[in-house]
A and B are shown apart, each in its own frame.
Chain A
Amino acid sequence: MILFLIILVLLFSGLSLFIERKAKGKTIFWYIITLSIILILSLVGLYFKSAEKALYFILFWFGGCGVLILLGIILGFPGYRKSDFLHPDEHIRKILRISMSGGLIGGTIFSTILYFGLHFPLYISIVEMFLSFFFSEVFLPVIFVKSSGDNYAFLKIFLTGFTISLSIFFMIFAAKGLLG
């Protein structure tokens, strides 16, 4: 178990570094915070005996993170103001976070609907959440940076992240219908 934990922490720390590699403003402080969260949540995850409770937790956590990011953006985190003159790397970071918050909030909403409202299997709900996060985090920033340059619009990016969650939701719904 300890070996598993070490691997997990290393894996996700590496992932964190990979995701934020373009964000040069990331400080050691935040790496330590991230590492601590990874460690704590890994330990917490091991002691969740009920899958349903784990889902409750992860929905709460993902949604909370999305709301935190959104709040941070709304409150005017440097770099999110329209008039800010951004380094291109910072620009990517800005877009990334806006789209991610849209994807996370959408993912939380639609995962909840899937599992608790439509009684889909648990793993489907997790897949919805994961894909929403993944697409809004990885693909959107690249698309927006290449297509729109500096002419970004907060709502546009946020809603696109949100719409991705909605699309995945409909795809899952349609797949269920197709597969019977």
Chain B
Amino acid sequence: MNNKPFNAKISDYKNWYTDQKSRCDFFNDIERIETSPGGIFCGYDSDKKVSNIEIKETKDEVILRGSYINTNEETIVPVFIIFKAYNNDTGVKSGNLSVVFGTETQLLIDEKIIKDRELHSTIYSPLFSDRSVVLDLYREDDPSSPVDRTTKFKYHVKYSAVGSSIEFSGVLSRDLDNFEYTDELIKWKKDIKPVTIKGINSDMLYAICKLNNKWLDDNITVKKNYPWLSYFGGLLANAGCAGIVGAGSFLCSAAYGAINTYIQTH
């Protein structure tokens, strides 16, 4: 019944990946998540069930390759691509980008080759037909020039689900082909004021938390969403269900009363 923020301690949900109930308890009713820009960049989860997102680069092309999740124990398992976000102070756009692409073992992005100026791709998750991710990725410089380590790509991602959509844009750095933490990142992560991502979807949060559970504990704030309408709605729905069962007993006792009256009058 309160809107007080609480610190999401991933350590409290150690079994959250295998214990669906814990995970659901954690993700429901989340209004928004606040985290530090630049914090989300890891491309794998701690238990290695999600493989790295690869961004491979040759002399004249860049290949994005999606990941498999090789598990059968989950009802909903997002595959995601996380791009690192940068601080304004360092000259690169700030913000967090996380893209939930799909589920289970389906490969959703496979060798999208950016040869020309632009890659535009709409990806529909197979399990959630009402959600989509639109990814625009294009060269910032002259597209005819060869791709090297200085090449930067601009991205624009729009993640849509029923009732919410999130758009991100920024610049892809070449650091992204290395998903390791660096001292530099950890340092500026602590110096930056939190940004708020509103309207975050639970499975997006799932991805964020999942990827960040090594360091997330002291950096992420999740605000629980407990609008009174939800409670009132729950009350009504439960009352309705309780009433239905009662209606059956009414019918039986009314029939009993009617039969009794009939016997007495005849």
Contact = CB atoms under 8 A, between A and B. Distances in A.
Contact of B245 (A37, A58, A75): A37
Nearest to B242: A34
Contact of A79 (B28, B130, B163, B254): B28
Nearest to A123: B255
A78 B178 CA distance: 40
Nearest to B29: A78
Given A49-B261, A75-B236, A44 B244 contact: no
Contacts of A38: 245-246, 249
Chain B contact patch, size range = 35 or more
B241 interface: yes
Contacts of B254: 45-46, 48, 51, 54, 58
Interface in B196-216: 201-203, 206
B234 A45 contact: no
A41 B249 contact: yes
Interface string A73-116: 11111111111111110100000010011001000000000000
A16 interface: yes
Given A85-B28, A85-B206, A42 B243 contact: no
A139 interface: no
Interface in A22-57: 30, 33-34, 37-49, 51, 54, 57
Contacts, number: 191
A9 B21 CA distance: 32
Nearest to B204: A83
A45 B240 contact: no
B157 to A, nearest CB: 18
Contact of A133 (B161, B242, B244): B244
Binding site secondary structure of chain A = helix
A58 B202 contact: no
Contact of A85 (B76, B239, B242, B249): B76
Given A41-B250, A42-B253, A85 B23 contact: yes
Contact of B239 (A43, A68, A83): A68
A82 B199 CA distance: 12
A60 to B, nearest CB: 10
B261 to A, nearest CB: 7
A83 B247 contact: no
B156 to A, nearest CB: 22
Contacts of B23: 85
Contacts of B252: 8, 11-12, 42, 45
A77 B230 contact: yes
Contacts of A39: 249
Contact of A46 (B130, B233, B247, B256): B256
A114 B129 CA distance: 39
A9 B240 contact: no
| Of A19, A54, A75, most B-chain CB atoms within 10 Å | A75
Binding site secondary structure of chain B = helix
A85 B227 CA distance: 17
Contact of A37 (B201, B243, B261): B243
B235 interface: yes
A71 interface: yes
A87 B21 contact: yes
B109 to A, nearest CB: 21
B108 to A, nearest CB: 16
B238 A30 contact: yes
B236 A43 contact: no
B27 interface: yes
Given A77-B230, A150-B127, A69 B236 contact: yes
Contact of A151 (B24, B130, B242): B130
Contacts of B233: 71-77, 80
Nearest to B103: A150
A161 interface: no
B91 interface: no
20 contacts: A8-B256, A38-B246, A42-B250, A44-B250, A44-B253, A54-B254, A65-B241, A68-B240, A69-B241, A71-B236, A72-B234, A74-B233, A75-B229, A77-B230, A79-B28, A83-B201, A83-B203, A85-B206, A88-B20, A126-B251
